[in-house]
Structure 1
Amino acid sequence: MQKSTLIPLIQPTKWAALTVSGFWLASCAGLAQAQNLGDVVLILHDKTNACLDAKDFGRYGNGNPVQLWKCNGGVAQKWKIRRNGLISNEANNLCLDAKDFGRYGNGNPVQLWQCGGDAQRWQVRRNGSVTNAATGLCLDAKDSGTMGSGNPMQLWQCNGGTAQEWRIVPFGP
C-alpha cells in the first residue's frame, strides 16, 4: 500500500491523493484519473477564484513578487509541484520561496527564487492550506485576498481562514 497525501482539487470537497511514487489520484464523476507529479497546475485562491501569479511574468528573476491575479492561463500562473516539495513557476522555472527564510514570521513576503533551498519546500494540506515546511507558516493572501488582482502573498500563522484556502487545478487537456 502506498503512502499518500491529500491535495484538494477543483472543489473543496474533491480530493486527490499524492502518492510517494509521484502520481495524483483523483476521483471525478466516479472515474479515476492519474496525473504525473510535475504536471502543470493552477493554484487558485478559494475565496476569490484568482490564481497564484508571478508578478510581471516573473521577469525580475530572484526576488520576483508573487501575487493573486485574475486567472488567464498565462505562463505566470502555471506551476509545477515537485516530489521534494518545491513549487516552480513555468515563466522562469524559479520556485515559490519564503523571503529571507521566513525569519520575519507573520507578514513575511513570498517571492520567487532559484530552486533548491529549505525555504522553498511546501506541503499541501488536507484543509486546502499550503504550508512552508521550513517555517510551518501558511501561504496567505494579504488582507484575506479582498484586493483581488495584485494582492501580494505572504506567510502567516496557519489559522484555517479563507486567506489560506487554495485549490490545485490541473492545467490543460
Structure 2
Amino acid sequence: MRNAVADALTAVYGKHWPWDRNFENSLPISKGLGYQQRQDLINTRTRFRTTDRIVVELKFVFWEKMFTSRHDQRIWNAHLFSLFPNLDPTQTVSAHRLRLATDLEAIRLLRNRIAHHEPIFKRNLSEEFSKVHDLVEARCQVSAAWMLGEQMALAAIQAKPF
C-alpha cells in the first residue's frame, strides 16, 4: 500500500513530495492526542533525507489516512485505477477508496493488537486474511498469488482449538 500511495504522490507532487508545501498543506492539522499526519510527515522528513527512506519510516497509519476523501480530487480520481489495476472498473473511485480505507484500518488495528500481545482469538481471522489478500490483489495479482502460495496463516487459523 505504501508504495502505491508513494507512486500516486510522486505522480501528483513529484519525486520530492515529502517536501512539497502543497502536499503538506493538503494534510490535516490535528488537535489533541490523536494521530497527527502532517506532523508525522514533518518529523520524518526532518530525520531522513531521501524520499525512499521517508516512505519506509512513515507510520502505517499515515498510509491508511491517505485513503480519506480529502485526497479524492488531488490524487485518487486520477490515479486509483492505474495504481490498483485489478479493482472492479464498474465501481466508483469513491467506493473503492472507502473500502480500501476501511480495510486498511481493520488491518492496522489487528496488527496493533498482535504487536501489543493483545488477544485476537475471537476475531474472524480468515476474514482479516482475506482483506490483506484482496488489498494485495488490487495492486498486483502475481504478488497475491505468491502470497497465497507462501503463507501459513490459513492453516494456523483453521487449527485453532476454539
- TM superposition score category, shorter chain reference: under 0.3
Higher strand residue share: 1
Larger Rg: 2
TM-score (norm 1): 0.23
TM-score (norm 2): 0.24
